[in-house]
Amino acid sequence: MGLIILVLSFWGFSCQKDADVVDDTSGQTKTVSLLPDTGQSTSYTATKGEDADYLINPMSFTDNNNGTITDNFTGLMWQKTDGGEMAYESTASYVKALNLGGFNNWRLPTSHELFLINSYDNVNPALNTTYFTKTLAEYWWTSDLRADDAASLWVVNAGGGIGAHPKSETVSAGGSKKFHVRAVRNPIVVNVPAIHFIDNGNGTITDNYTGLIWQKIQSSNTMTWEESLVYAENLSLAGATDWRLPNVKELQSLNDEKLFKPSFNKTFFTNALSGNYWSSTTLVNATEKAWDINLDYGIVSYNAKTTKENALCVRGGIN
C-alpha cells in the first residue's frame, strides 16, 4: 500500500516517530498514529468489558514550560491556556497572529484532534488540568463545519461531548455561551496511509489511520449498555475472540464530519444506522449513564445505561 507524505492527515495527526504496524488480517504494513486512551480508570460495573478494563495507550502529556503542552501520542503541541472567548470569525486572525513558545505556525484544531485531549475521569472541564489550565470555557472551536450547515461549527464541550453548534451562540456573536479557542500546531511531518479503510473480506474492517479493526456488520439487535459489554466480550469473528466495546475516543474516531444520516462510511460499514451507538465509557458525574454517539451527524453525548442502543465491536489498537 502506498504512503503519502503530508503535514496534516485526515485528522491532522502527527507522531513523534513513525511506527510500522502490520495489519494481521491483510498482511499489509502501514504507518499510523495510535489513539490515546480516555483516561478513565475507575470501574463502574462488575460486568467485563467497560472502559477501565482496558488500559490502551495511556494518555501522556509534557508541559514544555513555555505555555505549550505536547501530546506524547499524537505529537501535537497545544496551547496550555486557551485564548479566551471569541466569535468564530475572529479565530483565524487570532491563531495566525499567535506567537507562543517561540512558534508562530499555530492553527485551529480539527474536531478529531481536539476530542482526543479529553480526559474521561474528569468533567467540567473533561481535561487533565495538571496540564491544561481551567478557564471559563463552555465550548472550544474546531475548524470543521457541519456538512449541511455552514453556519454551524463542530465544537468540543467542557463536559466531554462534541457536536455542531451555530456560530451565533457565543457571547461575542450576540449569544449567551462561552466558546473559546485553543490553538494547536504540528511540530513534525507525518506519514499518512493513502487508504483509510480496508475491507478484509472476513466481516472486519481495518482503519489504517488508527490501526483498529472493526466489526463490519453490527448486531441487528439493540442492547442496553451492560448487554452490549457482554455481547462484545463474547463475540467470535474472523478467527478472533478479543473483541470489545470501543471506548468513546475509538468510537468517535470513525465519524466523518463530511457525512450525515449516517455519519459513518457506509461503503465499509454497510448496515450503519442513523441511531445511537454505545461506547464502553461511563459518564463520571452520573454513573448510571454512558457515552454514546448518534450517527445522524456524529454527536457524542450520553444516555441512561438501561437504554437500548446499537453496538459495534472493535479489537486491536495496542502498540
Residue 296, judged by CB atoms within 10 A of its CB (0-12, 13-18, 19+), counts as middle
Enter the pTM of the model: 0.90
In terms of C-beta distances under 8 Å and separation of at least 24 residues, what long-range contacts does 88-95 make, across chains too?
88/141, 88/153, 88/167, 88/170, 88/173, 88/179, 89/167, 89/173, 90/172, 91/141, 91/181, 94/181, 94/183, 95/181, 95/183
Over residues 254-269, the pLDDT tens digits come to 999 999 999 999 999 9
CATH of 61-185, one of 3.10.100, 3.40.1050, 3.30.470, 3.40.50: 3.10.100
The answer to whether 68 touches 148, Cβ cutoff 8 Å, is: no
CB atoms under 10 Å from CB of 311, counted, come to: 26
Q: What is the average pLDDT value for the chain, to the nearest integer?
A: 89
- Cα–Cα distance, 178 to 170 (Å, whole number): 5
Domains in the chain: boundaries: 13-57+195-316, 61-185
Top-tier CATH class for 13-57+195-316 = alpha beta
Over residues 184-233, the pLDDT tens digits come to 999 877 677 789 999 999 999 999 999 999 999 999 999 999 999 999 99
Over residues 151-164, the pLDDT tens digits come to 999 999 999 999 99
Over residues 102-133, the pLDDT tens digits come to 999 999 999 999 999 999 999 999 999 999 99
Nearest in space to 238 (alpha carbons), one of 193, 280, 199: 199
